Structure 1
Amino acid sequence: MKIFISSDAMEWFHGEMEATNGDTIRFYARYGGSSPVHDAFSLGVTKDTPFEPSATVQIEHIMFFVEERDEWYFDGHDLYVEIDSKLNELAYVYKKA
């Protein structure tokens, strides 16, 4: 799996999560909500330290990652992180790899 972060999403991370050089940001499966790939689970995001990352991307000296234990959630999809312009929130798009 691969992770793609749009430039608008990068602005969101800088503004909303105060992400700076050297930060590591994790995408993880959480119980509750729903997504196009799983009912009853949604995607969470937090600053965290990688333990066993299975997918990583570094943009502007910030590493985004998914831990091996959460890879099941993506079900063979790549993750595209964008912005929902109406809500000014992160929006996740899943595309089969």
Structure 2
Amino acid sequence: MNFEVSKEAAEWYKNEMDLEQGDYVRYYIQLYGGIPTVHPNYSLGVSIGKEGNIAIKDVVEGITFYFNDEDSWFLEEFNMKVVLEKEELEFIFHRK
């Protein structure tokens, strides 16, 4: 499992969510509503702050983007990359 946030996407988060170096951005799993994913009926949510044990992370521009232990199953079969395309975040999933 590989998880990557591009520098441009990290800058977008910093600007849009008023983040500072040392902040944490957590991706979590939710049913329906949210960021569409490769898992049917599951979406990604985003919150600020550190919660639980970090299982998968990428530190970019001083911000730690992560999934905790509870949600790490989400990337067991996929690699995920967060990029900025045409001023919009895009979530790219590739099967390993």
TM-score with structure 2 length normalisation? Answer: 0.83
Structure 1 partner of 2:29: 29
- Partner residue in 2 for 1:60: 61
1:69 maps to 70
**RMSD of aligned alpha carbons:** 1.8
In 2, the alpha carbon distance for the partners of 1:41 and 1:84 equals 23
- The structure-2 alpha-carbon separation of the partners of 1:36 and 1:10, relative to structure 1 and needing over 3 Å to count, comes to closer
The residue aligned with 1:92 is 91
Q: Provide the C-alpha distance between the structure 1 equivalents of 2:44 and 2:76, rounded to a whole number of angstroms.
A: 13
Aligned partner of 2:7: which letter? S
Gap regions ≥5 residues in structure 1: none
Check conservation: 1:37, 1:74, Cα contact below 8 A.
no
CA contact (8 A) 2:13 2:19 kept: yes
Match in the other structure for 2:15:
15
Q: Secondary structure at the match of 2:32?
A: strand
